[in-house]
Amino acid sequence: MREHEDTMRRGRRKFDDDESDFLKRGRLEPLLAEEPDLPETGDNWSTWDGALHGPEPRPDWVRTEHGAVDDELGMLKTGKEADVFLVRRHVPGTADVSMLAAKRYRDGDHRLFHRDAGYLEGRRVRRSREMRAMTNRTSFGKELIAGQWAAAEFGALGQLWEIGRVSGLVRVPYPVQLIGTEVMLEFIGDWETGEAAPRLAQVRADPDVLAGLWQQMTDALSVLARAQVAHGDLSPYNTLVHDGRLVLIDLPQIVDVVANPQGADFIARDVRNVAGWFTQRGLRVDADELLERLLYEAGLK
């Protein structure tokens, strides 16, 4: 695997002093050219110490050592709200390695907010000034929204990862850490080659395998419904297939279906999106029955 030649440096984000706590926590300090404290190998020291961490018990592969370093290996994905980079975190001189996907939400000058309003209903911040800034889409408000998307995804992944660890009914990447508007996740794919797992939309499966994937999808949707949340943007394009298992990704827009007045509509849209894909590939599914069950499990019926 060829390492990315250009070292990516992340600078301090300019937040107002009256910002939310999750934005203040663990800002990245600028890496100045004259800064002496850089590792002998690797692009930068691990940012683990300055971050909010994922749930315990942590997987054995999570690198928490003070001497760990990060190598940035290139971009995995670019999107409207965030870009995702592949990062190799390792302890020099050892075989202790983890492969991470670093998801970096764009700041207010570059992100697109055309879909924010519906998803953000039901989310509240403590200060009216912050709420006004978010509603009016000021620069400060857009930074707050970007931080909310990152924090929402990190929290949702932690909740679902813990449910999946116990039940085995849903799988998501383990959320390693959160700093500001950057979420670092377990890389789902081949750790040797850096090749990401295929999306469900890319999979060509026989009827038996397809039926098994549909069962996994309905199990995952049931887990979400019982937790009274909806993915909000579920589709074959943000679901991976790795070692025969579905892995849900891209959860920043996760919706509290009780607090959000459109909660039932978000569940229905998720069901329609995935049921339509399976139907187009010849699998007979009852989307209406599934939706009724999910609404009941979510307490909306």
Under the banding of pLDDT at 50, 70 and 90, the label for residue 145 is low
pTM: 0.80
Q: What is the pLDDT of residues 26-36, one digit of tens each?
A: 444 444 445 55
pLDDT of residue 79: 83
Average pLDDT of span 232-236? 95
pLDDT of residue 210: 97
Q: What is the pLDDT of residues 149-199, one digit of tens each?
A: 899 999 999 999 999 999 999 999 999 999 989 999 999 999 999 999 999
Contact 271/290 with Cβ under 8 angstroms?
yes
Please say if the pLDDT value at position 300 is more than 60. yes
The residue whose two tokens read 């999808």 is 217
Q: What is the pLDDT of residues 28-67, one digit of tens each?
A: 444 444 555 788 888 899 999 999 999 999 999 999 999 9
Please say if the pLDDT value at position 130 is more than 80. no
Please say if the pLDDT value at position 121 is more than 70. no
Percent of the chain topping pLDDT 90: 67
Q: Give the pairing type, strands 69-78 and 255-256.
A: unpaired
Average pLDDT of span 202-206? 94
Cα–Cα distances in angstroms (integers) from residue 13 to residues 35, 74, 105, 106, in the given order: 19, 22, 12, 11
- The CB density around residue 41, as the number of other CB atoms within 10 Å, is 10
Contact 177/171 with Cβ under 8 angstroms?
no
Under the banding of pLDDT at 50, 70 and 90, the label for residue 128 is low
pLDDT of residue 148: 82
Under the banding of pLDDT at 50, 70 and 90, the label for residue 77 is very high
Crossing angle of helices 139-167 and 207-226, rounded to 10°: 110
pLDDT of residue 2: 43
Under the banding of pLDDT at 50, 70 and 90, the label for residue 146 is low
